[in-house]
Amino acid sequence: MKGLIRRPWAQAVLGWLLWVVLVVTRRTLRWRHENLDCASEVLKNDAPCIVLFWHGRIPLALGIAQVWWVRNKLRCMISPSADGEFIAQALARARFPAIRVSSAKKGDTSKARAAVAGFREAVSWLQDGGMLAITPDGPRGPNEVIAAGAIQIAKRSGAPIFLVGVAADPAWRLDTWDKVMFAKPFGRGATAWEGPFHVPRDIDEPGAASLINDLSGRLSALTRRAEDLASFPSGGR
């Protein structure tokens, strides 16, 4: 099955299907955005920024994208894995071209070089005023735990981080490692925002670990808040 999915024609079909899901989700759901004002200056000034949301909410991503389409420089960070290929194709159709980067296993020099190149491309993109969307627990998890790479990109680039919880109701949740959520058409979608957060240039390893723990908890709380907003349009239970 994995061999079939990796074939170019299968990737193209899956990419097209995911793009259709993204478009239907954006167009048929009634979207609500809470605390979007925290990002108003970035939107107004086209300043560099990083947006983090969980990997399992990629099928809902255009609920976030419709907010950011006022900007000219938009990209997303996607793994170079087989799964990442069709996701990258779908998001490129939705005007979010990808920077392909992933962590490399110890001893894998070719992947390590690719990871370094992708990291540098991401930092350069941000320093040139771009916006970069990252699912910081992908592509392998653990679920809802921010990987160190996103923090390192923010540290090196100096770009602020915005956390976005995103949810839909009613929705299907699959039994995957990231509990991926697909919205049912004609329901409700919601996002909940917090930020900006800045990573100090001189942060040490214990400080980075503490920050990762804090931001992971905040992003999960925002995701639960978005779930409440989507389920209860008046603002929660």
Q: What is the pTM of this model?
A: 0.90
Q: For residue 201, what pLDDT is reported?
A: 94
- Over residues 38-83, the pLDDT tens digits come to 998 888 888 899 999 999 999 999 888 878 887 878 899 988 776 7
Q: For residue 103, what pLDDT is reported?
A: 58
Residue ranges and CATH numbers for the domains of the chain are: 2-231 (3.40.1130.10)
Q: Using the structure block, give the residue that is written with the tokens 């981080």.
A: 161
Q: For residue 2, what pLDDT is reported?
A: 56
Could you tell me whether strands 131-134 and 161-173 are parallel, antiparallel, or unpaired per DSSP bridges? unpaired
Q: For residue 43, what pLDDT is reported?
A: 84
Where the chain has pLDDT below 70, the residues are: 1-5, 82, 102-112, 233-237
Q: Could you tell me the two tokens for 143? A: 């679920």
Select from 69, 57, 34 the least CA-distant residue to 191: 34
Q: For residue 4, what pLDDT is reported?
A: 60
Q: For residue 105, what pLDDT is reported?
A: 54
Q: For residue 84, what pLDDT is reported?
A: 79
Q: What pairs with residue 133 in β-bridges?
A: 51, 76
Q: Could you tell me the two tokens for 205? A: 């390893």
